[in-house]
């Protein structure tokens, strides 16, 4: 049985999904860069159900609120998010299961008294001696992205379909779908639905 959660944060909310027994040992499941909590949908049912699993969407990912303008998406902020989420869940100790990101060991090193077990799935390496270099590059990259961004505009479903059909090859174009009543109105579509610009420390932009 799965339950959807919505945890209030100062900038909005964090969306999460929960499985298992509320009375079981808690496990926080963390997705990778530009992913979301759905990445655990097929894994959790295969694990022992006497644990309580919570998979969260990081800020700017999945159904969670975006950060405010000028606030970058990088490791330090995600560690802060994890701490806020476990506070909202009222967990004092829990196990951490993370995919891809390199900040999961960073959280367990920052709050070792809170982590029972650390489970890493296809994680990326993170060298602590390069911490300042990564942070500097991330900040500079955010400034470059902001300086090059064009003003946001609303795009209608018809424009989106037209742009996609233009990019398709002639053979693939015959398979494109026509607009349906399920399309959202233009007022619902904005740049906020776009994924956040990359600024993660685990793969800094080239200098």
- The answer to whether 100 is a known catalytic residue is yes
- Angle in degrees, CA 68, 73, 79, rounded to 5: 110
Question: Which listed residue (64, 65, 100, 199) is catalytic?
Answer: 100
DSSP 21-78: -TTSPEEEEE--TT--GGGGTTTGGGS-TTSEEEEEPPTTSTTSPPPPTT----HHHH
What values do phi and psi take at 190, rounded to 5? -150, 175
Question: Long-range contacts of range 157-164, CB-CB < 8 Å, 24 or more positions apart?
Answer: 157/183, 157/184, 157/185, 157/186, 157/189, 160/189
Point out the residues that are catalytic: 100
């Amino acid at each position: 049985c799965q339950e959807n959660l919505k945890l209030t944060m100062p900038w909005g909310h964090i969306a999460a999904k929960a499985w298992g027994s509320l009375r079981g040992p808690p496990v926080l499941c963390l997705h990778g860069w530009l992913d979301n909590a759905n990445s655990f949908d097929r894994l959790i049912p295969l694990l022992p159900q006497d644990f309580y699993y919570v998979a969260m969407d990081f800020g700017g990912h999945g159904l969670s609120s975006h950060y405010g303008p000028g606030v970058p998406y990088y490791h330090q902020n995600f560690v802060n998010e994890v701490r806020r989420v476990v506070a909202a869940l009222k967990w004092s100790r829990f196990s951490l299961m993370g995919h891809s990101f390199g900040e999961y060991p960073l959280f367990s090193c920052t709050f070792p008294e809170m982590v029972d077990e650390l489970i890493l799935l296809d994680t990326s390496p993170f060298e602590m001696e390069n911490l300042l270099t990564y942070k500097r590059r991330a900040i500079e990259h955010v400034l470059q992205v902001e300086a090059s961004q064009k003003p946001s505009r609303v795009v209608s479903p018809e424009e989106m379909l037209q742009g996609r059909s233009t990019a398709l090859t002639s053979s693939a174009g015959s398979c494109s779908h026509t607009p349906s009543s399920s399309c959202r109105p233009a007022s619902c579509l904005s740049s906020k639905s776009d994924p956040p610009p990359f600024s993660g420390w685990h793969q800094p932009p080239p200098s």
